[in-house]
A and B are shown apart, each in its own frame.
Chain A
Amino acid sequence: MNRIQKLLQEKKKIFSAYYTAGHPQLEDTLPILEALQEAGTDLVEVGMPFSDPLADGPTIQKSSEEALENGMSIKKLFEQIKEMRKTIDMPIVLMGYFNPVFKYGVEAFVAKCKEVGVDGVILPDLPFDEYKDKYQQLFEDANISNIFLITPQTPDERIKLIDANSNGFIYMVSSAAVTGAKSGLSDQQLTYFNRVNNLGLKTPRIIGFGISNKETFTTACQYASGAIVGSAFVKLLAEKGADKTAINDFVKSIKDTSE
């Protein structure tokens, strides 16, 4: 069992945060991770910046651009997190677009993930069939969970197929949208969460996109194992920098501590 599977077995109301590696400052990657853990974060998605992030809204686009200007790269990221397991216990997921990983070499990438203690990978533009044909064995042998996305438009049949080939969690995208903080969760979205919950899936779901505050986080947790806060956290980092207190306050303001 990897750290993701263990966490999902043991815990509900998982609080997960996304941020872009190398932003706001190049060397902030590890300090942010440590601050998140100290504040009680359960799981972190570390974004690998890309020049053409076509599923992202303005906030994450901007953080990616700045991270690249700062000199961020996959190689640099692996250097920064090579000893993270000395201090970090949370499951860590790397999230990014396929091209930089393909260029790095998928085999080398997976091997490096295993070496530094990364537990999962999210590559939204790696198609399901391509993953299954070429990479599934590689990921499974390394015990790295490949995390798939589903959306309100994903047909039930496809969701079941994705479920059958997942071993971490399914990233349930809350609406037909790119990343970016929105104000609330609509009835239509709740209907979609219910529909997915009634499919009897084996893989737990975590909801992402549009989760920005306590209210949306708490609602999302009623329909899934947890939720991911992305753009709202990236925005905080852009404003306040990698400030320990600010990160702590942010996490505490959203996380549901009632059991």
Chain B
Amino acid sequence: MSDKSKYQVDENGMYGRFGGAFIPEMLQPNIDNLKKVYLDIINSEAFQKEYKSLLKDYVGRPSPLYLAKRLSAKYNTNVYLKREDLNHTGAHKVNNTIGQILIAKHMGKERIIAETGAGQHGVATATACALMGLKCVVYMGEVDIKRQAPNVARMKMLGAEVKAAKSGSKTLKDATNEALRDWICNPEDTFYLIGSVVGPHPYPDMVARLQAIISEEIAWQIKEQTDKEYPDYVIACVGGGSNAAGSFYHFLDDERVKLIAVEASGMGVDSGETAATIAMGDLGVIHGSKTYLMQSDDGQITEPYSISAGLDYPGIGPIHAHLHDTKRASIISATDQEALDSALELTQLEGIIPALESSHALAALGKMKFKPDDAVVITISGRGDKDMETYMNRFGF
């Protein structure tokens, strides 16, 4: 695909009117440095060789594209599940952490920092650090540390240091602030490994490129398995938006492919307890990026709510804000209850327990009309093991 695509980042780090690098001067040299080298590294033969070989032999890619027959029958269409849940560590997050850890190594960095909400990105980062023998510090909100004990233990077992973010709402956004503060104080030896298509440029573009493997595979898998040249729909959930960006990436300029992103609306878009950023947010700057975000009238960033910890980010990646603005993608939302219903449905029809995040993408099936001959690809971003406690409580198992 040409880099001149109108849906891709421009030379100023903008997706249309979104993105950029709204960062204090203290971070400017780090960001400038990364901006200078990331494309050369990603495009280098050495990087590609190592990245692809790790994705294959360590992560277990390509992930299957699976025609879910019973689910398809129910919705009278053809539903293909992109099985990111079968990756090592159980989610798409590892595609990005493996890529960024190699970039960090190319840059000669010795210490990795990351933010995490539910702990999925933290675990994927700690995994990559263990693999490469790099020091790993993961920032996690104090509230989340209490809520996500098994993932905290996983990170520790992998050798990471988990540091509590104790300010603000003590959740993901505060963990991100804390990681940025660490980076300000350690500009020389430290690499900040961001977990989604958020943050200052070049992070959104870098993470999108590292997740693009998802759509690269979908593109050939759909040809291999059907008589179609392209899928009619690609559907993914959005927190920050990395699995969606990766699922859309190679189809951005092929407008025959309809792109659907599903936000988490929690208790409902208008309930005040929601994470539906596009539906409820307005323009602002969060973590160095101009995008839609949830804020008060006074410009204070507010705490989102969703049953799924991976989707309750108060902003959204600038690429998705732009896809929404240009109407290239439709951004819809699913409530807690709709996601839960979809999780149970997939489990009982196909024998796949999805992550709560991914269940939001599945909820699109009940909200849209598909034709009997459509090829509808839904990205299952992760598996449901981490959500068993919620499922147990909500379903009474």
A interface list, Cβ under 8 A from B: 50-58, 61-62, 65, 68, 73-75, 97-104, 124-127, 129-130, 148-151, 153-155, 158, 173, 176-178
Contact = CB atoms under 8 A, between A and B. Distances in A.
A73 B299 CA distance: 9
Interface string B1-44: 00000000000100000001111111011000000000000000
Given A50-B300, A55-B26, A68-B300, A176 B184 contact: yes
A127 B21 contact: yes
Contacts of A56: 181
Given A103-B295, A173-B25, 16 more contacts: A52-B177, A53-B177, A55-B24, A61-B168, A97-B285, A99-B285, A100-B300, A102-B284, A102-B285, A103-B298, A124-B26, A125-B22, A125-B288, A127-B22, A148-B25, A153-B26
B373 to A, nearest CB: 47
Interface size classification for chain B: 35 or more
Interface string B273-314: 000000000011111100001010111111000000000000
Q: Which of A50, A53, A100 has the most CB of B within 10 A?
A: A100
Contact of A173 (B26, B173, B174): B26
Contacts, number: 110
Contacts of B173: 52
Contacts of B174: 52
A75 B299 CA distance: 11
A101 B184 CA distance: 23
A42 to B, nearest CB: 24
13 contacts: A52-B301, A54-B24, A54-B287, A99-B285, A102-B285, A103-B299, A124-B26, A125-B22, A125-B285, A151-B25, A173-B25, A176-B187, A177-B185
Contact of B301 (A51, A65, A124, A130): A51
Contact of B177 (A54, A75, A150): A54
B319 interface: no
A65 B167 CA distance: 8
B210 to A, nearest CB: 24
Interface of B: 12, 20-26, 28-29, 167-168, 173-174, 177, 180-181, 184-187, 283-288, 293, 295, 297-302
B285 A154 contact: no
A18 B297 CA distance: 25
Contacts of B284: 99, 102-103
A74 B298 contact: yes
A102 B25 contact: no
A194 to B, nearest CB: 19
Given A65-B168, A125-B285, A130-B20, A54 B181 contact: yes
Instruction: Across the A-B interface, give the 5 residue pairs with the lowest CB-CB distance, nearest first.
Output: A103-B299, A100-B299, A124-B24, A73-B298, A149-B25
B25 A54 contact: no
B189 to A, nearest CB: 11
A90 B297 CA distance: 31
A149 B24 contact: yes
Nearest to A72: B298
Contacts of A178: 26, 181, 184-185
A81 B18 CA distance: 34
B298 A100 contact: yes
A174 B17 CA distance: 34
Contact of B286 (A52, A101, A153): A52
Contacts of B297: 103
Contacts of A151: 25-26, 28-29
A62 B174 CA distance: 13
Nearest to A62: B167
A225 B22 CA distance: 28
A232 to B, nearest CB: 18
Contacts of A101: 299
A99 B187 contact: no
Q: Which of B285, B295, B299 has the most CB of A within 10 A?
A: B299
Contacts of B295: 99, 103
A65 B170 CA distance: 12
A156 B300 CA distance: 35
B285 A153 contact: no
B50 to A, nearest CB: 30
The residue among A52, A102, A126 with the most chain B CB atoms within 10 A of its own CB is A52
Contacts of A125: 22-24, 285, 288
A53 B176 CA distance: 11
A155 B187 CA distance: 14
B167 A58 contact: yes
Given A61-B167, A75-B298, A100-B298, A126 B286 contact: no
A129 B285 CA distance: 16
Contacts of B29: 151, 153-155
A171 to B, nearest CB: 9
A130 B184 CA distance: 21
Contacts of B181: 54-57, 178
A58 B286 CA distance: 20
A223 B10 CA distance: 41
A54 B300 contact: no
A50 B24 CA distance: 14
Contact of A177 (B168, B180, B184, B283): B184
Contacts of B298: 73-75, 100, 103-104
Contacts of B286: 52, 99
Nearest to B178: A54
Contacts of A177: 26, 184-185
Nearest to B29: A153
B25 A98 contact: no
Given A99-B285, A153-B29, A176-B184, A51 B23 contact: no
A154 B27 CA distance: 10
B137 to A, nearest CB: 16
B236 to A, nearest CB: 27
A56 B180 CA distance: 10
Nearest to A53: B177
